[in-house]
Amino acid sequence: MDRPLHIVVLSGAGISAESGLPTFRGNGGLWEGHSVYEVATPEAWERDPEMVLRFYNMRRQGVRRVKPNAAHLALAELDKRCSVSIITQNVDDLHERAGSNDILHLHGEIMKARSTADASLVIDLNKNDIKIGDQCELGSQLRPHIVWFGEDVPMIGRAAEIAAMADVFIVVGTSLAVYPAAGLLQVVPDSVPIYIVNPEQSGYQFGPNVRFIEKTACEGIPEVVAEIRSMIDT
Q: Which range marks the domain in which residue 6 is found?
A: 1-20+68-107+153-234
From 127, 146, 165, the end of a domain falls on 146
Q: How far apart are CA 211 and CA 217, in angstroms?
A: 15
pTM of the complete model beyond 0.95: no
Instruction: Clarify whether residues 217 and 102 are in a common domain.
Output: yes
Please give the DSSP secondary-structure letter assigned to residue 203: S
Outline where the chain has alpha helix (H). Answer: 13-17, 42-47, 49-65, 70-78, 94-98, 156-163, 217-233
**Cβ-contact 92, 15 below 8 angstroms:** no
Q: Reply yes or no on whether 145 is catalytic.
A: no
**Cβ-contact 163, 189 below 8 angstroms:** no
Residue 218 buriedness (CB in 10 A; 0-12 / 13-18 / 19+) = middle
225 phi and psi, to 5 degrees? -60, -40
Residue 77 buriedness (CB in 10 A; 0-12 / 13-18 / 19+) = middle
**Cβ-contact 171, 184 below 8 angstroms:** no
Q: Which of 72, 95, 105, 107 is catalytic?
A: 107
Q: What is the CATH number of the domain that holds 183?
A: 3.40.50.1220
Instruction: Clarify whether residues 226 and 127 are in a common domain.
Output: no
**Sheet strands (E) in the chain:** 6-11, 30-31, 34-35, 83-88, 102-105, 108-115, 122-124, 142-146, 168-172, 194-197, 210-213
**Cβ-contact 94, 103 below 8 angstroms:** no
Instruction: Clarify whether residues 35 and 132 are in a common domain.
Output: yes
Quote the number of domains for the chain. Answer: 2
Could you read off the pLDDT tens digit of each residue along the chain, which spans 234 residues? 567 899 999 999 999 999 999 776 555 555 666 787 788 999 999 999 999 999 999 999 999 999 999 999 999 999 998 999 999 999 999 999 999 999 999 999 999 999 999 999 999 999 999 999 999 999 999 999 999 989 999 999 999 999 999 999 999 998 887 788 888 999 999 999 999 999 876 555 667 788 999 999 999 999 999 999 988 876
**Cβ-contact 111, 75 below 8 angstroms:** no
